[in-house]
Amino acid sequence: MANDVVAVVASIEYRLAPEHRLPAAYEDAVEALHWIKTSQADDWLRSYVDYSNVFLVGSSAGGNIAYNAGLRAAAGDDLAPEIKGLILVQPFFSGTRRTGSELRLANEPHLALCYNDALWKLSLPVGVNRDHEFCNPTAGNGPARLEMIRRLGWWVLVTGCGGDPLVDRQVQLVRLMQSKGVRVVGHFTPGAYHGIQDSEPLKAKELYGVIKTFIHALSAQQ
């Protein structure tokens, strides 16, 4: 990804559920952002990293983490570097009300609906359901939280595919962002499946091309 996008990529580790339920992963991601900001004294990083052009990128569960960590950073941006936007690749969201794609692809072998539900049961705070804002950005206070992203002028790229049970959720997020005045680009392709870029190198290269085009288009506007 670093080679194809032409970017310095910092890949972070985070605490995992069920031993560490959400928001532990979000807290770890924000801590990593704080490290990025304070690492500017490092000679090598200062020579190669453009700290004014930082994007939070995540795929699947990582897309959920990038989204929620981004919102946390926006709420306390004194701890974060200058973030330009979010890149959410097949972001992992859900809700209590089933979408058309979830029902149509309930037995999809790469992400069956029962598996999806089990992951959320193990990851969400005890006592909440899938309409919690960590899981469903369109429910509760989720839409209001987007005001921070709009105010900061971040750009957001959301990618997905028609064979992913979560695709309707991802499209809903793009439409919600558009309705809230967030500058968002949706890139959706037919067919495929959740996580295809992790197992098919050609699909990964296609994705990196989309990300590179998105980032460079924004840089050209500066």
Can you give the pLDDT at residue 77?
57
CA dist list (Å): 74 to 8, 51, 77, 86, 204: 22, 16, 5, 12, 29
Range of the domain at 32: 2-221
Residue 147 has pLDDT above 70, yes or no: yes
**CATH value at residue 152:** 3.40.50.1820
pLDDT in tens, 101-145: 999 999 999 999 999 999 999 999 999 999 999 999 999 998 998
Residues annotated as part of the active site: 60, 164, 194
> What is the count of structural domains for the chain?
1
pLDDT in tens, 179-210: 999 999 999 999 999 999 999 999 999 999 99
Residue 89 has pLDDT above 90, yes or no: yes
Give the C-alpha separation, 153 to 83, whole Å: 10
